[in-house]
Amino acid sequence: MAAITTTRTRYTDTFRNDLIAAGAIAGFLGGACMALLTMILSASAGMGFWHPVELMSGIFYGVDAILGGVGPVITGLIVHAILTTALGALFGAILPVDQAESGRATGWGLVYGALCWAAITFVVLPVMNQTMKDRVDLAPGWWFASFLLYGVVLGATPAIRAAIGREVERVTYEETRRAA
C-alpha cells in the first residue's frame, strides 16, 4: 500500500512538472503571437514591422533602440522570448491542477494575461524600459489586447501537458501495477 501512495505522490509531482514545462511552451507560443500582433499593427501604422521588437531591447539600448538595426531586433526577440517563456512556466506552476483538468485554463490565462499586463505596464517598464513605456502609452488598447491574446494561448497549457505527459502517465501506471 505504501508503494501506491509513493507512486501517486510522484504522479502529482510529475503532473505539476509537466504543467510547468507545458506553460513554458505555451508562454513561448503566446509570446510569439503577441509579438506578431504588435508587429503587424506597427507596420500597418507606418512605424515599421520590427519596431515593437526593437522597443523591447530598450532595456539595453535605451532610446537608441528606436534607431533599429539587427542588434536591437535580435536583442528584443531574445528578451521577449525569455520573458514570455518564464511567465508561461510560472503560469503552469500556479495553475490549479483541478482547473487544468476541467478545461478552465483559458479563463485563468486571461486573468493571468491581464495581471501580467498590469505588472509590466505599471512596474517593470517604468523602471527598466522607459523608452518602451513611452511608446506603449500611445497605444494602450492594443498593448492590453496583446496580453489578452497571450493569456488565451496560455489556455492551451493543459493540452500541451497532455501531449508531453502521456509517456510519464503510462510509466506511472505500470509502476503502480507492479507495486500492487
* Residue bearing the bigger pLDDT, 6 or 177: 177
* pLDDT the model gives residue 175: 60
* pLDDT the model gives residue 97: 79
* pLDDT the model gives residue 110: 96
Contact yes or no for 27/82 (Cβ under 8 A) = no
Residue 23 has pLDDT above 80, yes or no: yes
Which residue's entry shows cell 526593437? 54
Calculate mean pLDDT across residues 25-40.
Answer: 97
* pLDDT the model gives residue 164: 83
Residue 45 has pLDDT above 80, yes or no: yes
How many domains would you assign to the chain? Answer: 1
Residue 14 has pLDDT above 90, yes or no: no
Domain that holds residue 123: 2-179
Give the whole-angstrom CA distance, residue 1 versus residue 174: 15
* pLDDT the model gives residue 7: 46
Q: What is the pLDDT of residues 50-107, one digit of tens each?
A: 999 999 999 999 999 999 899 999 999 999 999 999 999 999 999 987 777 667 899 9
Record the pTM. Answer: 0.83
* pLDDT the model gives residue 13: 72
Q: What is the pLDDT of residues 107-163, one digit of tens each?
A: 999 999 999 999 999 999 999 999 999 999 999 999 999 999 999 999 999 999 888
Contact yes or no for 161/93 (Cβ under 8 A) = no
* pLDDT the model gives residue 9: 46
Residue 41 has pLDDT above 90, yes or no: yes
DSSP the chain: -HHHHHHHHHHHHHHHHHHHHHHHHHHHHHHHHHHHHHHHHHHHTTS-TTHHHHHHTHHHHGGGGGG--HHHHHHHHHHHHHHHHHHHHHHHHHS-HHHHHHT-HHHHHHHHHHHHHHHIIIIIHHHH-HHHHHHHTT-HHHHHHHHHHHHHHHTTHHHHHHHHHHHHHHHHHHHHHHH-
Nearest Cα residue to 117 out of 87, 96, 156: 87
Q: Which residues contact 169 (CB under 8 A, 6 or more apart)?
A: 11
pLDDT category at 22 given cuts 50, 70, 90 is: very high
* pLDDT the model gives residue 16: 83
